[in-house]
Structure 1
Amino acid sequence: MKPLYLTTPVRQGLGACLRPGGEALTRRAIELLQPKAGSILVDAGCGAGGGMRILATEGRKVFGLDLDFGLLSESQKENTGPLVQADLARLPLADGSVDAIFCECAWNLTKKNEVLSEFYRVVRPGGALVLSDIYLRCSGGTLVANGWPIRSCFSYATDLATVENMVRAIGFEQVVVEDHIHLFKQTAAEFVFAHGSLHEFWKAVVGDEQLAKRACAAATLTRPSLFLLIAKRSNE
C-alpha cells in the first residue's frame, strides 16, 4: 500500500503542498525567520515543490531534496532551484553550508535522530531549522501507533515535548514552537467536504471498511495536531 501522502484522495486534496494547511505554514515560518535575499535554504522532503515555490521568492536560493523520484519530477516543473534525490539521513551537503533547512511534514517518516543530526551538521552556525509535522495531543497516543492502517506522518508521531527534547538534544537552541491545530482542522474539514465524512475519506484511502474504522479510532485516541518549530544553531 502506498504511504498516505501518495494516495489519490490526499494528492487530490492537498495538491503540490503535501501537508495540512498547504502554503500557510511555510509562509508563517518565513514570517518568523525573515530569511534575507541571497540566503541559501534547503527544502528537505520537498515533495512536489509547493514549498520551494514560496521559499524561492525575494531572491532566496533554494535546493530541494527528496527520496521519491516521481515527486522530484513534479517539482522540476516549478523551476525554483536545483533538485537532488537523497535520503535525509545522508544529506549530500557540506558541513555548515546552508542558512536554514526546512522540513515540512516529512520528518515523522524518517529516522528522526539521524536526520536531526544531519540537519545540525549542514546548517551554518547561527543558521536555523524549520520543522513542521504532526504531533499527538494524547499523552498515551504513541501506544497505538500501530493502529494506523497505512504508513503516514500519524503513524510515527509523538507528543510535542518529545519533539522539543529531541531537537535540543542534538544541539539546537532558541527553540520556538507553535501549535497550528486550526490548519489541521481546516484540512480535515476539506476532506470531509470532499468525501462526506472522515470515515469515507479513510475508506477511499485504504479501500477497506474495517481499516477505515481503525484509522478513525486511532485519530480519536491520539488527537493529532500540527506543530511549527523553529530552532537556531548557536554561533560557534
Structure 2
Amino acid sequence: MGFHTFDPEKAAKLEDTGRYRYVSREELLSYLDLADGETVADLGSGTGFYTDDVASFGEGIGVSVYAVDVQDAMHEEYRAKGVPENVSLVTADVGDLPFDENELDAAFSTMTFHEFADEDALAEVARVLRPGGRLVVADWSGAGRGEDGPSVDERYDLEAATELVESAGFEVRYGKERAETFVFVARR
C-alpha cells in the first residue's frame, strides 16, 4: 500500500465539523477513557481538529496531549488557529517517534491510520505506549464505498487493520466495521 500525506493546501477541510459524521468527539473520548494526569498522542493530528477535543476534555484533569504530524505545514495551520496550553506540537513520522519507551498512556488516530500503517510504525507505537496503554483508531474502511476520504484501494478494512496491530503486540478489545469507516480499541 502506498503512503501519502494530506495536502496542506486543503487544510481547511480538516476543520469541517462534518467530520463528526464519521467519528464524534464523544465517541473518541469514550474509547480513549482518559484518566487524571495521562499523556496521549494524536497520530496524524493535521490541524488539530480532534486534538482540540481531547485537549479541551483533558484540560480539567491534567491530561497532556502531543499533536504528532509528519508535516510541519499542518502545525503552522494549527498555530494560526491557536494551540491549547496542554498540547505540544511534534513534527515526526509515526515510524520514528521522539518519545521514551512506555511514555504514553494512550494514542489515537482519526482518518490517518491508512497513511502510516505498517509493521515498523506500529512497533514504534507499541514501544512508546506503556503496558496496558490504549490505541484508538477510526479510519476509512476498505470495505466502504468511497463516498468520502481517500480511494478505497488506499484503505484497510477492520480485519486487515486488526491483523496489523495484533502482529505489533496489541490486543484488539473492540472493533466495528461501519458503513464507510471502521473503529477499533486496542491495548498494548
TM-score tier (shorter): 0.7 to 0.9
**Structure 1: gaps of 5 or more residues:** 142-147, 182-224
- Alpha-carbon separation, structure 2, partners of 1:7 and 1:66: 12
- Alpha-carbon separation, structure 2, partners of 1:90 and 1:50: 23
- Alpha-carbon separation, structure 1, partners of 2:117 and 2:151: 12
Name whichever structure is richer in strand by fraction.
2
Aligned to 1:6: 7
1:168 to 142, 166, 181: 166
Which amino acid letter does the alignment assign opposite residue 7 of structure 2? L
The alignment partner of 1:54 has SS state of helix
Which amino acid letter does the alignment assign opposite residue 179 of structure 1? E
Q: CA deviation at 1:4?
A: 8.1
Which amino acid letter does the alignment assign opposite residue 36 of structure 1? A
- After TM superposition, the structure 1 = structure 2 runs for residues 27-38 of structure 1, keeping only pairs within 5 Å, are 27-38=26-37
Mean Cα displacement is larger for which, 69-78 or 21-30?
Answer: 21-30
- After TM superposition, the structure 1 = structure 2 runs for residues 61-80 of structure 1, keeping only pairs within 5 Å, are 61-76=64-79, 77-80=81-84
Which amino acid letter does the alignment assign opposite residue 170 of structure 2? F
Aligned to 1:177: 175
Which amino acid letter does the alignment assign opposite residue 113 of structure 2? W
TM-score, with normalisation over the residues of structure 2? 0.80
Report if aligned partners of 1:45, 1:104 keep a CA contact under 8 Å in 2.
yes
Which amino acid letter does the alignment assign opposite residue 43 of structure 1? D
Q: CA offsets, 1:103-155, max 9 Å, x none?
A: 111121125222111111100011100111111227xx9xxxxxx9xx94644
Q: CA deviation at 1:6?
A: 2.6
- Alpha-carbon separation, structure 1, partners of 2:178 and 2:160: 17
Aligned to 2:15: 15
**Structure 2: gaps of 5 or more residues:** none
- After TM superposition, the structure 1 = structure 2 runs for residues 105-144 of structure 1, keeping only pairs within 5 Å, are 105-137=111-143
Q: CA offsets, 1:1-20, max 9 Å, x none?
A: xx684376x65554267x94
TM-score, with normalisation over the residues of structure 1? 0.65
Which amino acid letter does the alignment assign opposite residue 62 of structure 1? V
The alignment partner of 1:92 has SS state of coil
Which amino acid letter does the alignment assign opposite residue 163 of structure 1? A
The alignment partner of 1:82 has SS state of strand
Report if aligned partners of 1:100, 1:127 keep a CA contact under 8 Å in 2.
yes
Q: Aligned in 2, Cα 1:43/1:4: closer, same or farther, shift over 3 Å?
A: closer
Aligned to 2:47: 48
Which amino acid letter does the alignment assign opposite residue 131 of structure 2? P
Q: Aligned in 2, Cα 1:152/1:23: closer, same or farther, shift over 3 Å?
A: closer
Q: CA deviation at 1:32?
A: 2.9
- Alpha-carbon separation, structure 2, partners of 1:228 and 1:97: 24
Which amino acid letter does the alignment assign opposite residue 88 of structure 2? P
Report if aligned partners of 2:32, 2:106 keep a CA contact under 8 Å in 1.
no
Residue 227 (str. 1) matches residue 182 (str. 2): yes
- After TM superposition, the structure 1 = structure 2 runs for residues 147-226 of structure 1, keeping only pairs within 5 Å, are 152=150, 154-181=152-179, 225-226=180-181
Report if aligned partners of 1:176, 1:229 keep a CA contact under 8 Å in 2.
yes
- Alpha-carbon separation, structure 2, partners of 1:26 and 1:112: 26
Report if aligned partners of 2:42, 2:66 keep a CA contact under 8 Å in 1.
yes
CA RMSD, aligned part only? 2.8
Aligned residues: 176
